[in-house]
Structure 1
Amino acid sequence: MANTLLDMRDIRKSYPSDDGPQHVLNGVSLHLDAGETLALTGESGSGKSTLLHLAGGLDQPDSGEILLGGRDISDMDDAARAAVRRHSVGLVFQQFNLVPSLTVGANIALQARLADRHDPAFCDALSGRLGLSDLLHRYPEQLSGGQQQRVAIARALAPRPALILADEPTGNLDEATGDSVLTLLLDLVRETDAGLLMVTHSPRLANRLSRRMHLTLGALSVA
């Protein structure tokens, strides 16, 4: 029997604007099983990033339920959602959010240390697979945008999270490097039975995942 990792039920989310509430998600429902990969596509502004933020407990819905590992995180306070996120979720967003005062190696290990799951050998292996082994003693300001993106990906994967949420994780990489990074993400899902929910504008990359859904005008459909 499949083990449901993420279950979002009838999620609605709006934001205030000068013209009244701007409805972004209108009754969205999706589920993701452990070991499954799901590509989320849609036009810019369709609510893809909002959905990802809600799935990771970075924001709360106006209504609906979000179950992560069987726990309802939709009504949790900020501290409780942060604790769940720290132990269960790996976030890869377009903003790298690297700590400028830490070396590459320390940035990669940061999330795993916070989750009490730091494995130096695994961090070294991740660094090698992402082409970062020679950069571990540098600082973020000494890296290119593509290199910083790879560091952010390594940091998210280092704790071996149950759920990986990735917003255009290869957007700052050339095609060959992007393909290899996606291969690493898919390998990690297979090796650890994690789940991957990935936002992408690339049909080619989306087709490498096990399922595809499309977000239009706040509603989801099978792609």
Structure 2
Amino acid sequence: MSAFANAENLAFAQARAPLLCVEGLKKSYATPQGRLPVLRGVDLTLEAGTSLALMGESGSGKSTLLHLVGALDDADSGDISLDGVALARLTESGRARLRREKIGVVFQQFNLIASLTVAENLSFQARLAGRRDALWEAELARRLGLSALLARYPEELSGGQQQRVAVGRAFAVRPRLLIADEPTGNLDEAAGDAVLALALDLVAATGCAFLMATHSERLAARLQRRVRLEAGLLAP
């Protein structure tokens, strides 16, 4: 086989490889009664350009799994790789750089910086990552219906508008993976539906992978796949 064919096959294999790969993930926490296992051996894959709803009862470990995948916490055992990078092999500074450059996060709480305008909040993570793109930020503001609000501060916005700013901030860095933890939990049904629709449009436009934790069967049905976290394991 020629060198060109080998390179072509390698590129094809890389393109088909999962963007996110989780294998045998375990996590427990210390309690007065001893260690409390939360994740007991989770296996999960997610391809670029696809979306997955993570479901489960409160306390089932959804947020724990998102924090581990987002390089915000360490697992007891198991492996997580994102875009070919094994998280366990990274230094703390390497994990911070990965979070800034490749992961967008949207929480139930909007977590906007009150002293910054909408425009400044939108660009915040991209500035930290040294990847600010003013044209892309303007496009995000247009897509998210924020163009007329850029000079305002978070306290001047509705809940739905604040969450749209949070979505834009996450996408401004052009992440490879978007993580959302109950992103519509503080919104009414109409506003929540609108925010999710905008996020899914941006996922399609950018080709990133989307992992969302939610209690809502209705919202989960909008994503391409869904799994349920039960007794520390994932079930389809």
Report the TM range for the smaller structure's normalisation: over 0.9
**What is the CA distance between 1:75 and its match in structure 2?**
4.0
Q: Secondary structure at the match of 1:66?
A: strand
Instruction: Give 5+ residue unaligned stretches, structure 1.
Output: none
Q: Does 1:50 align with 2:64?
A: yes
**What is the CA distance between 1:66 and its match in structure 2?**
0.5
Q: Secondary structure at the match of 1:21?
A: strand
- 2:137 corresponds, among 123, 129, 138, to 123
Structure 1 equivalent of residue 124 of structure 2: 110
- 1:145 corresponds, among 159, 170, 181, to 159
Instruction: Give 5+ residue unaligned stretches, structure 2.
Output: 1-12
Q: Does 1:7 align with 2:39?
A: no
**What is the CA distance between 1:32 and its match in structure 2?**
0.4
Deviates most, 4-13 or 142-151: 142-151
Identity of aligned residues (%): 57
Q: TM-score scaled by structure 2?
A: 0.88
Q: Does 1:21 align with 2:21?
A: no
Deviations 1:120-154 (A, max 9, x none): 22222222332322221122233333332221111
Q: TM-score scaled by structure 1?
A: 0.93
Structure 2 equivalent of residue 175 of structure 1: 189
> 2:27 touches 2:38 (CA, 8 Å); kept in 1?
yes
Structure 2 equivalent of residue 100 of structure 1: 114
Letter aligned with residue 56 of structure 2: G
Which ranges of 4 or more aligned residues in structure 1 deviate by more than 4 Å? none
Greater Rg, structure 1 or structure 2?
2
Q: Secondary structure at the match of 2:120?
A: helix
**What is the CA distance between 1:33 and its match in structure 2?**
0.6
**What is the CA distance between 1:97 and its match in structure 2?**
2.2
Deviates most, 166-175 or 86-95: 166-175
Q: Does 1:82 align with 2:96?
A: yes
Q: Distance in 1 between matches of 2:71 and 2:140?
A: 26
Number of residue equivalences: 222
Letter aligned with residue 113 of structure 1: R
Q: Distance in 2 between matches of 1:50 and 1:122?
A: 32
**What is the CA distance between 1:203 and its match in structure 2?**
0.8
Which structure dedicates a bigger proportion of its chain to helix?
Answer: 2
